[in-house]
Amino acid sequence: MPTHTAAFDPERLQRIKEAAFRIRTNALVQAEVQGQGYIGQALDLADVLAVLYTDQLNLRPEDPEWEGRDRCLLSIGHYAIALYAALAEAKFLPESELETYATDDSRLPMSAMASYTPGVEISGGSLGHGMVIANGVALGLKRKQNDAFVYTILSDGELNEGSTWEAAAVAAHHRLDNLIAVVDFNDQQADGKSSAMLGMEPVEGKFEAFGWVVRRVDGNDVAAVLGALEELRALEADQPRCLVVNTKLGKGVEFLENREKLHFMSVAPDEWEKAHRQLKESFEA
């Protein structure tokens, strides 16, 4: 698998890695409030979100509706605990608010909703809709001659949805070169492995056939993700772009990485301290 790494400043990479560690830590903090949740997905996507929210996205946390902002649309709304942790890292939310996750009157519902949370661009969770919405946002920005980019994060399971591929065709037809789709390829959906439910390989070839520029990297390699996203954004091509990231569910917490049921998991009360300890050990290794 290509790495697309570049000679990045080590301090820059370290800042992103530290942010990814805090995103994972704060995802665990939120999940512990309920004792269960989409923990594996939050841990697997933390490196990608750290690259986006601490380095790549042009944002103003003090003005979430700023017209010149890049838009990051989380199609997979059940990854909300990861997004909330990233928004806290980017200063859209106070870190202390994460402890209200999915409680009564919280601004942090279990599935991310734009009407509740500053920095959340869409109400995700109707899987297969994120790319469709992203097309409309990207096309609207182009017609307003706004140079902002639109990122949409979707899952490998969403590639089973026909609407995703209809949207892929539309994006290429309208030459939405301000659109970057990030596909989290963790090979897991509600009923089992994505590859067993409906295999979608070769993913790169399918997007390329629809007229996209595609890169694929290890999604838990910060330098690889950063290099690929910078390359895709800088391309001088009138095509939409896609980054497929291969990630590991439960990344950083060994006993969760090896747990058989990984889509929506429960964690026993006596396991949370172990989870935090293993996460810290993996970060320091």
Strands 265-266 and 36-37: antiparallel
For the chain, the domain total comes to 1
pLDDT bucket at 6, cuts 50 / 70 / 90 = low
273 in any annotated domain: yes
1 in any annotated domain: no
Examine residue 202 and say whether the peptide bond preceding it is cis (omega within 30 degrees of 0): yes
Identify the domain containing residue 250 by its residue range: 10-284
pLDDT bucket at 20, cuts 50 / 70 / 90 = very high
Beta bridge partners of 73: 152
Check pLDDT > 60 for residue 1: no
268 in any annotated domain: yes
- Average model confidence (pLDDT) for the chain? 93
pLDDT for residue 196: 87
5 in any annotated domain: no
pLDDT bucket at 4, cuts 50 / 70 / 90 = low
4 in any annotated domain: no
pTM score, whole prediction = 0.95
3 in any annotated domain: no
84 in any annotated domain: yes
Domain harbouring 173, CATH code: 3.40.50.970
Query: Alpha carbon of 110 to those of 81, 101, 282: distances in Å?
Result: 7, 7, 27
